[in-house]
A and B are shown apart, each in its own frame.
Chain A
Amino acid sequence: MDNNLLIKTNRRIVKDSIMKWLFGTASFLLIVLIAFLFYGIGADGVGRLNLSLFTNFGSRFPEQAGLKAALVGTLSLMAVVIPVSMFIGICSAIYLEEYAVKNKWTAFIEMNISNLAGVPSVVFGLLGLTVFSRALFLGNSILAAGLTMSVLILPIIIVASQEAIRSVPDNLREASYGMGATKWQTITQVIMPSSIGSILTGSILSFSRAIGETAPLIVLGIPVIIQFLPTGPLSTFTALPMQIYDWAKRPQPEFADVASAGIIVLLVILVTMNAFAIYFRNKAMKKLQN
């Protein structure tokens, strides 16, 4: 009897450690995968990372192809996306957290935001094509693409800002009211300063999503080979992911290397933005702790 129990228990313990290794291997697999991805793209693209990549326009010839128009285009796109999405996003978050009464309309707005977050990006492209490009005659301009991208990232900014505003302790609000401040003064001078760090973190992460998003730009018909820089918000442009998409599609292996180089540039931009986001997050955490 006793011996039997011992064997059974031993078996259970062995099973436990086998499963631990199995689960651990699955997690380790993720690390290997990401290392492989970065190594593969890095090894192919690093040879093409030279000055001409940044000073040349797109080209039919892989050795002359560059990112100049795409980089300026992505920057111009963000010049529309950042103010538009942050203004609407923060206003919505302030309304929902500080003003909204719990009624059906508020519940509807909240449900609506969570639905919007789940819509595939290519469908946002169809919205942009119909409303911004055609109905508002913005064509495939920076403004049309910027507004489309703003709608796409709006749910992320709103939810992040709502969480940031919610995490401001109530005694700060009460102290402000106690000193005779109005609600709006409390919002602008107490709540905003203490939540802006977390709001920036969420916003920066959503901007990096907008920088890498390709499908809506394709649906809007953003061109790829462009030999001039955009002159204003209504100008045609191209963007970094569009350029990479075009290079990745071409059959010549030389273009695969250029695409890898483009991806390295894109990933460096995104990693830098993430670093800023983490910096703001840590700063915000420290502020709340004090």
Chain B
Amino acid sequence: MSSIQPSEKMRTRDVIAAAKKRERFGKLVPHILLVVTSLTVLATLGIVYTLLKETFIFFTHINVSDFVFGTEWAPFSNGSPAFGVLPLLIGTLKIALVALLIAVPVGLACAIFLSEYASPKVKKIIKPIIELLAGIPTIVYGFFALTFVTPFLQTLIPSLKLFNALSAGIVVGIMILPMIVSLSEDALSAVPATFREGAYALGSTRFETAIKVVIPAAVSGIASSIILAASRAVGETMIVSLAAGSTPAFNLDLTGSIQTMTSYIVQVATGDAGYGTTIYYSIYAVGFMLFLFTFLMNRTALYVKTKFREDY
């Protein structure tokens, strides 16, 4: 018996030492984790800082008002390069509008069908397909637009160019569809069943219940999903780069080649504009505008969702 005692004492001491070590380590852990977590803040700061810094240099080359209000975008012109951003904005707007015209009606119809009409069985089939649609890379959509949608539309509209805003916009619409469907469906499903039961008890049909009771109750979530989808359409790059061309156009024509903010950045990046040239800095100015637009839209979506949410 006596021969065991010293080693038992050792064990107790070891246990205490280990516990103390654990405690010291335990105190250190949150600090280490906080540092790692703060890296995400560093990423945002990095984005804002690089965009602002290079944009600032760009504005030492080009007048701010010439950039914001200029109607000609011709950075590669040898004689008189022009950096008026409005053609790029119009191009971006065309894509976003066509996309929303496709995605909002179809997306909402699909969301209402899923939440108000579909049986659980049908829901179980359609929802994974929508998830699948959401997981397809945009490069695939871009290829789809260029090789399938454009030739098909050309049989309907013979004057349609190979690169055009219409087919790119339609495919961007298909790309943002899953977002509108799943976010709106979430909002509709969150409306309590008692609302529907009340409407049914008063003799409403399912359509009347959906239009007059459920949708008004879910309108903040639906509006926020549309704004988020619009922001996604504004930031979409690969579909427009492949299918919409790279000709800045200051008009309202949908059948011709255009250029968006994103596809301009891609055009410069694939070419060889030297470091330090005005063209090099211009992609940051355009990128900053893009960042600003999407940031404001995302914030608005969040604001609409929380501010106008009805709590049941």
Contact with A along B203-235 (1 / 0, CB 8 A): 001111000000000000000000010010011
Q: Which of B160-189 contact A (CB under 8 A)?
A: 174, 177, 181
Contact with B along A200-222 (1 / 0, CB 8 A): 00000100110111110011110
Q: Does A248 contact B (CB under 8 A)?
A: yes
Quick one: given A24-B117, A96-B37, are A126 and B205 in contact (CB under 8 Å)? no
Contact B237 A122 (CB under 8 A): yes
Tell me the complex Cα distance, A218–B205, Å: 53
**CB neighbours of B30 from chain A (8 A):** 95, 99
Residue of A nearest to B112 (CB): A23
B side interface size, CB within 8 A: 82
Contact B143 A259 (CB under 8 A): yes
Q: In the complex, what's the smallest C-beta–C-beta distance from A23 to chain B, in angstroms?
A: 4
A side interface size, CB within 8 A: 85
18 residue pairs from A and B, CB less than 8 Å apart: A24-B113, A26-B113, A27-B109, A27-B126, A30-B110, A30-B181, A94-B33, A96-B37, A109-B41, A118-B298, A119-B295, A122-B237, A122-B262, A123-B235, A209-B137, A212-B136, A263-B139, A270-B137
Contact A245 B238 (CB under 8 A): yes
- Excluding A30-B181, A130-B50, 15 further A-B contacts by CB distance (< 8 Å) are A20-B206, A27-B109, A31-B129, A37-B140, A41-B140, A151-B43, A205-B135, A212-B137, A215-B262, A215-B266, A218-B270, A241-B137, A249-B242, A263-B140, A270-B135
Residue of A nearest to B236 (CB): A120
Q: In the complex, what's the smallest C-beta–C-beta distance from A26 to chain B, in angstroms?
A: 4
**CB neighbours of B116 from chain A (8 A):** 23
Q: Which of B289-308 contact A (CB under 8 A)?
A: 290-291, 294-295, 297-299, 302
Contact A119 B47 (CB under 8 A): yes
Q: Does A115 contact B (CB under 8 A)?
A: yes
Q: Is the interface of A mostly helix, strand, loop or mixed?
A: helix
Tell me the complex Cα distance, A136–B137, Å: 29
Complex partner residue of A40 from B38, B148, B205, B242, CB under 8 angstroms: B148
Contact A184 B291 (CB under 8 A): no
Contact A118 B143 (CB under 8 A): no
Residue of A nearest to B262 (CB): A122
